[in-house]
Each structure stands twice: as structure tokens, then as C-alpha cells.
Amino acid sequence: MERVLITGGAGFLGSHLCDRLVTAGHDVVCVDNFFTGSKRNVLHLIGKPNFELIRHDVTLPLYVEVDRIYNLACPASPVHYQHDPVQTTKISVHGAINMLGLAKRVGARILQASTSEVYGDPEVHPQPEGYLGRVNPIGIRSCYDEGKRCAETLFFDYWRQYDVDIKVVRLFNTYGPRMHPNDGRVVSNFIVQALSNQPITLYGDGSQTRSFCYVDDLLDGMMRMMDTPKGVTGPINLGNPGEFSMLELAEKVLALTGSKSRIEFRPLPLDDPRRRQPDITLAKEHLKWSPTVNLEDGLKETIAYFKTIL
Ligand code: NAD
Ligand code: UDP
């Protein structure tokens, strides 16, 4: 059994990861400053002997003794990461430096939750890991995109310079139960709007695409990556290659909820990527992983969750 630190452990992905690792019997330390996450997400774990919750901001150093670190702390929704963009870059960059420094000191293996945003608005489709991306360095998404790119740089420099045992996964859009109702990302927005009979806010003409991975699939891939031998560093894409336009997504959510909400078109945010789809050849080869939950089934689970909390 390992001592595992999860930063951002009270967030959407982090809390599911806490569940999995606690259930597997690991000693889990969940660190979060509750910016976008919530104690409610891990309330059911509090009191278990192999779970510990620490309020801490990863831009400050942390001293704990662990064997493995999943570095997930960072707001993931454009609405939230653009709220305080300077802090967003600090979270990615200072957070990576602090967690890599910790990994170096205690000899821990460390996994970085990077993102498909490192590809920016891509000219290559689908996106393989070798594609270097087309990211605007000065736009409103740059605090997140460039912060995550710099974090990847730090991971690879700690590996080359200090032999730290790193793993980098690039996550594509992931959804599921425990997304915050005010998270601002498209799946939670559409479901909350449909269930409360408010207009569905579709940005642009709705032809932009995303590929949505269900949380359970994503965590399978992430945990498999963590278990690979030292030297398997990635970066490796994790996501579901099924690609849908936002209009298709809106129509699916309306059909599955039986909602009478109408679609309301709003301006497309600046630098909103046109298309996104992961090339998961490497994940299939190195992790023997590919997603199994299709969009409709994943949406049904997510809708059922939002019905319980709204
Ligand atoms: P989330 O916003 O639900 O979780 C992020 C967590 O980090 C929250 O609990 C938040 O309170 C915490 N946090 C933020 N700043 C912190 C700080 N300074 N110190 C400590 N904790 C802090 O988002 P999520 O979807 O669970 O994303 C988790 C990670 O995965 C993020 O790093 C995100 O960039 C990455 N990612 C997610 C997706 C996705 O679609 N869900 C896609 C690509 C990458
Ligand atoms: N989007 C939308 N309506 C919303 C929220 C998002 O049409 O209420 C669009 C957004 O413009 C983008 C896509 O959905 O094209 C995915 O947005 P999200 O914020 O979920 O993730 P990201 O852009 O980071 O992939």
C-alpha cells in the first residue's frame, strides 16, 4: 500500500480519485484550498483511517512524506481560471515547482494532470502527443494554457536534471457526477439549464467540437499511467475520441432530459478552439487503455447526479 498525495483532491476529478485510492486501501492525503472544489465531495471519506484532508494552497511549499503524488490542483473551467488569471498561472507554475520539489526530496513518483489545451486551437486533427500546438501566449486562455505548458516543461526538466520519476497525462474534456453546478463547463451548464428549464447557452454557432470522456474511464487511464515503470514519462493523451459539435451536445442533453428549454445563441468566447479530438494511439499501446463509456450513457449518469443535487 502506498502513501498517496492528491492535490486538488476535493475537486471533480480529484474526489473520484480519492474514492478509488481509499477503497484500494492506500493511505490518501487530499490537499485542496477549496477554490473550485468542495469538502462535500470528500465528506464521506472523512473519518476513514486511511484518509486525511488538508486545507493548503499549492503555490506554497508543502512538507509531507508520501510515495506518490497526483498533481491536480488548478481550476479547470474557463470561467474560474479566468477569474484571477495571474493566480491561475501561479497555481500551475509555482504549484508544479513545489510538488516537484517535494517529489525530489522524498523520492516520490509524481503525475501531472496536463491538458489538451497545450495544443491550443490545433491545425492537426486529431491531436497526437508529437503535435507542438498552436497556443496564443497573450490571450484570455493563456494563463491556463501557458501555465500548463510551463508545468510540463518543469516536469521534464526535473526528470532530466534530477531524475525525478515523472508522468505527464494530457486530459481532454472530462465530465461526470460531482462537477460543480456553477462550474461553467459545457456539460454541466447544459444539464443544469435543461433540468431547470432555463435557456441552453450555446456559444458561437455551435459547430465547434469537443471529445468528452466519462470520469470513470479517465481515472482508469490516469491510474494505469501512474503504475507504469519509471522512465515511461508521457506525455500521453487521455480522452474519448468520440467527437461532437456543441449543437449536437445540446440536442442530446435536451433529448435525454426531456427538457423544453430553448437553445439561446451567445457570442463565442475569444480563442475558443474550433476542434478537439485526442489521438489515443500511445495510451492504447503503453497503457492498454481506451475508454468504454459512450457519451449517451455517461450523460445519463451525469443527469441522474444533477437531479439529486438541484
Ligand atoms: P476542479 O476545478 O473540479 O478541481 C480542481 C481542484 O483544485 C479544486 O478542488 C480546487 O479547489 C483545487 N485548487 C485550485 N487551486 C488550488 C490551489 N492553489 N491549491 C490547492 N488546491 C487548489 O477541476 P477538475 O476537472 O477536477 O480538474 C482537475 C485537474 O485536471 C486540473 O488540473 C485540470 O486542469 C485538469 N484537467 C481537467 C480536465 C477536465 O475536463 N475535467 C481536462 C483537462 C485537464
Ligand atoms: N460552451 C457553450 N456553452 C456553455 C459553455 C461552453 O457553448 O454554456 C462551449 C464553449 O464555447 C466551448 C465548448 O462549449 O466551445 C467547451 O467549453 P468548456 O468550457 O466546457 O471547455 P473547453 O473550452 O475548455 O474545452
- The per-residue pLDDT for range 12-43, each reduced to its tens digit, is 999 999 999 999 999 999 999 999 999 999 99
Would 282 be classed as within a structural domain? yes
Which domain CATH number covers 117?
A: 3.40.50.720
Buried b (16+ CB within 10 A) or exposed e, 278-297: bbbebbeeebebebebebee
Mutation test of ligand 2: which of 210, 243, 270 has the most ligand atoms closer than 8 Å to its C-beta?
210
- What is the CB neighbour count within 10 angstroms for residue 163? 11
Would 129 be classed as within a structural domain? yes
Hey, is 226 helix, strand or coil? helix
pLDDT band at 303 (very low <50, low <70, confident <90, very high): very high
Number of domains in the chain: 1
The domain in which residue 125 lies consists of 3-176+213-240+277-291
Express each pLDDT in 66-87 by its tens digit. 999 999 999 999 999 999 999 9
Express each pLDDT in 104-131 by its tens digit. 999 999 999 999 999 999 999 999 999 9
Residue 163: per-residue pLDDT:
98
Would 229 be classed as within a structural domain? yes
Please report how many Cα atoms fall inside a 13 Å half-sphere around the Cα of residue 153, on the Cβ side.
11
Would 32 be classed as within a structural domain? yes
pTM for the structure as a whole? 0.98
Express each pLDDT in 181-216 by its tens digit. 999 999 999 999 999 999 999 999 999 999 999 999
Q: Is the shortest distance between the CB of 201 and ligand 2 below 6 Å?
A: yes
**Binding pocket residue ranges, ligand 1, CB within 6 Å:** 7-8, 10-14, 32-37, 57-59, 72-76, 91, 113, 115, 171, 173-174
Would 189 be classed as within a structural domain? no
How far apart are the CA of 39 and the centre of ligand 1, in A? 14
Share of the chain above pLDDT 90, in %: 100
Would 308 be classed as within a structural domain? no
Nine cell digits for residue 258: 426531456
Catalytic positions, please?
Answer: 144
